[in-house]
Homo-oligomer: A and B are copies of this chain.
Amino acid sequence: MVKSLITTDDISIESILYKAANIEHYGSSPSLSGKILTNLFYEPSTRTSSSFAAAMLRLGGQVISINDVNYSSVSKGENLEDTIRTMSSYSDAIVLRSKESGHAAKAAAVSDVPVINAGDGNGEHPTQTLLDLYTIWKHFGRIDDLRITFVGDIENGRTIHSLDKATPNCVKNYRDTFSTDDWPESDVYYLTRVQRERGSIGTYQLTAEHVRAMPDQSIILHPFPRNEELPTWFDTDPRAKYFEQMKNGLFVRMAILESVIKL
């Protein structure tokens, strides 16, 4: 039975966290030598694509990158299932970024090899969630009993949906704009940019006043890229954990690839 990763329910979060920590602290071996990963992106996301590519290469594997299927001949009116069948004939796993919620599950249903959901429209983005959780876990030693404030594009934020779902034992707040009067005390502030390409409007920005109201042990996370909401002057604050979060993406995706690809 092929083991795909469509939502965080498909995998043991705890085992990924431990595996990632192990890779971060003790390094990796070329365990996926001889294996090929296909990056199949129906919308471009160089950041996510590059992160998976680096993870696969660090494990000794190889990568075929298809970074904008719409402009490629894979499409030529072809249905998703045929494209997946094709790429699953050539490779040992497929990382899929698709434009519509549910497409990752549809792909997994016809694939001979594991499909890893790298974001399906307004659906989920489980590998981002796992790296968010890893960053929280490293800082607080737990992923339960924390206060999390989600700030930004609540409705269209795929990364917000996924992290929200994966932290059922946390207390959550949601802010789609924020005044300094309405800035809850929290352990984690999870900022996202306004997804203009998904039709969102609105604007907000972290200010010195917000920062003063943040507890000392709290952290700010952001899935990046960022726009004006997260000004660069905050980067040197010890509570800015988004660069570390970015680096964690590599360890977590290595752990995921090792768990999912059949040795």
Which A residues contact B (CB, under 8 angstroms)? Answer: 34, 36, 38, 43-48, 50-51, 53-54, 57-58, 62, 64-69, 71-79, 81-82, 85-87, 89-91, 197, 224-227, 232, 243, 246-247, 249-250
Contact = CB atoms under 8 A, between A and B. Distances in A.
Given A48-B73, A50-B87, A54-B90, 14 more contacts: A50-B86, A50-B90, A53-B64, A65-B65, A75-B225, A76-B197, A76-B225, A78-B224, A78-B226, A81-B232, A82-B224, A82-B226, A86-B224, A89-B249
Nearest to A55: B90
A135 to B, nearest CB: 13
Contact of A74 (B71, B76, B225): B225
A45 B73 contact: yes
Nearest to A91: B54
Q: State how many copies of this chain the complex holds.
A: 3
Task: Enumerate the 5 nearest inter-chain pairs by beta-carbon distance, A residue then B residue, closest first.
Answer: A54-B90, A46-B72, A78-B225, A46-B74, A57-B62
Nearest to A230: B82
A9 to B, nearest CB: 27
A89, A91, A246: residue with the most chain B Cβ atoms closer than 10 Å: A89
B78 A64 contact: no
A78 B232 CA distance: 12
B227 A77 contact: yes
B66 A44 contact: no
Contacts of A65: 65
Contact of A73 (B47, B77, B89, B247): B47
Contacts of A89: 243, 246-247, 249-250
B225 A90 contact: no
A235 B77 CA distance: 18
24 contacts: A34-B58, A36-B54, A36-B58, A45-B72, A45-B73, A46-B69, A46-B72, A47-B74, A48-B73, A53-B64, A53-B90, A54-B64, A54-B91, A75-B225, A76-B197, A76-B225, A78-B225, A78-B227, A79-B232, A82-B225, A82-B226, A85-B243, A86-B224, A89-B243
Contacts of A227: 77-78
A196 to B, nearest CB: 9
A74, A90, A225: residue with the most chain B Cβ atoms closer than 10 Å: A90
Contacts of A44: 71-73
A46 B66 contact: yes
A122 B189 CA distance: 42
